[in-house]
């Protein structure tokens, strides 16, 4: 981290005179000044929030105008609120379930940082997360690498947030959990001022650099996509269509399985015996289509995925393949009845299905 150079112009003519008469003393004093500055920086940064640029700026508050101080505080508020939203909406697990397999505590935490309009949409879709936890024991958490304010208007703002989502489900063969490959993300979070409080009103996948934090935590991918932040490239939009057009079939199959009591038990009602197979078929079609759309040698090649989208593409293909593999391992007797090892096989398949469902939902924000 570069430390701003000390403004020693106040030394005036004495600086030249001291250099000629006592260079050793001056060097010692300069060293002490540097150490003091470093200690001051560390102390001030230790509990700070916001970007590095903002925190450095806060050190010189006495020299700023009231307007610039207010702007710095506003940026800190926006980044903090956007970060809280990303962390809260992506953090849940079995401990959040109540007796009705709902997650009221999780819902309230998210609603605390979003607008009433957004809360309506969120409540209509939170059942997907609740089902993934109740049926497959999914545990989900997020890490934020960096955030930066993209734009601010009078009562609207946009913040870019990068990070990673970690997800796991119970190991069907032994105690412990199976950790899935982390999903990297870059989101554009839109906020509006509501009754004096900045609340999140929407979010979507974003492309481009995150202003204010040029160097993310090690492990975050470098961005090479030239698309302006907040915009969707033609390639991104068409790839999103490939995935979202299968979303309905996946959600329908998941709804049937839920009605059949899967994976806790094997249902015998109409559709229960074929729901898993239908889901595996849809997953296969999705994987094949997405591979072809991103393969330059394919006749249906759409284009090379932008750098920030490549992980989502590979994760979706892998998740779809995992659904095919785990479903194929569930024999027919385990789809309509119980027997030795059936519960474990169904739990493994349910975990794969939940992972694919989550990724498909994430593609919805890309579009």
Q: Where are the domains of the chain?
A: 48-228, 232-367
Report whether CATH 1.20.120 matches the domain 232-367. yes
- Give the DSSP letter of residue 114: B
* Nearest residue to 202 via CA among 77, 113, 80: 113
Query: What tokens were used for 11?
Result: 């030394």
Report whether CATH 3.10.450.540 matches the domain 48-228. yes
One digit per residue, the tens of pLDDT, for the chain of length 367 reads: 433 443 333 333 333 333 444 444 444 444 444 444 444 444 444 444 444 444 444 444 444 445 678 888 899 999 999 999 999 999 999 999 999 999 999 999 999 999 999 999 888 888 878 888 888 888 999 999 888 998 998 899 999 998 888 888 887 777 788 888 788 888 899 999 999 999 999 988 775 443 333 333 323 333 333 333 344 567 888 888 888 888 888 888 888 888 888 887 766 666 777 888 888 888 888 888 888 888 887 777 888 888 778 888 888 998 888 888 888 888 877 776 677 678 888 888 888 888 888 888 888 777 5
What lies within 8 Å, CB to CB, of 51 at 6+ separation is 75, 79, 146, 147, 148, 212, 213
Show contacts of 113-121: CB within 8 Å, 24+ apart.
113/81, 113/84, 113/85, 113/88, 113/199, 113/200, 114/85, 114/199, 114/200, 114/201, 115/192, 115/194, 115/199, 115/200, 115/201, 116/194, 117/201, 118/199, 118/200, 118/201, 118/202
* Nearest residue to 131 via CA among 328, 361, 320, 340: 361
Q: How many CB atoms lie within 10 A of CB 347?
A: 22
């Amino acid at each position: 981290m570069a430390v701003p150079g000390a403004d020693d112009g106040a030394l005036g003519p004495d600086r030249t005179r001291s250099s000629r008469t006592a260079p050793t003393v001056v060097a010692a004093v300069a060293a002490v000044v540097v150490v003091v500055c470093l200690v001051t920086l560390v102390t001030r940064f230790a509990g700070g929030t916001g970007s590095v640029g903002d925190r450095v700026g806060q050190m010189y508050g006495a020299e700023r105008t009231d307007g610039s101080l207010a702007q710095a505080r506003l940026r800190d508020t926006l980044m903090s609120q956007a970060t809280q939203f990303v962390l809260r909406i992506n953090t849940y697990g079995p401990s959040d379930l109540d007796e009705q397999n709902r997650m009221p505590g999780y819902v309230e935490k998210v609603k605390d940082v979003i607008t009433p309009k957004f809360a309506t949409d969120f409540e209509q879709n939170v059942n997907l997360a609740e089902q993934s936890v109740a049926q497959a024991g999914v545990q989900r958490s997020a890490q934020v690498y960096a955030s930066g304010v993209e734009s601010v208007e009078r009562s609207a703002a946009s913040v870019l947030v990068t990070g990673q989502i970690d997800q796991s489900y119970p190991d069907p063969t032994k105690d412990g959990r199976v950790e899935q490959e982390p999903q990297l993300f870059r989101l554009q979070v839109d906020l509006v001022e509501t009754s004096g409080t900045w609340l999140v009103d929407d979010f979507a996948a974003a492309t481009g650099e995150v202003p204010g934090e040029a160097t993310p935590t090690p492990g975050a991918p470098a961005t090479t996509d030239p698309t302006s932040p907040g915009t969707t490239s033609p390639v991104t939009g068409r790839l999103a269509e490939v995935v979202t057009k299968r979303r309905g079939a996946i959600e329908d199959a998941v709804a049937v399985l839920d009605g059949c009591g899967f994976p806790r038990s094997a249902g015998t009602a109409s559709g229960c015996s074929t729901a898993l197979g239908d889901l595996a078929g849809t997953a296969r079609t999705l994987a094949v289509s997405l591979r072809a759309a991103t393969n330059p040698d394919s006749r249906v090649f759409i284009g090379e995925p932008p750098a920030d989208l490549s992980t989502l593409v590979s994760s979706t293909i892998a998740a779809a393949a995992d659904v095919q593999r785990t479903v194929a391992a569930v024999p027919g007797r385990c789809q309509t009845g119980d027997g030795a090892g059936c519960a474990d096989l169904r739990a493994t398949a349910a975990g794969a299905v939940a992972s694919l469902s989550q990724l498909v939902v994430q593609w919805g924000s890309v579009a």
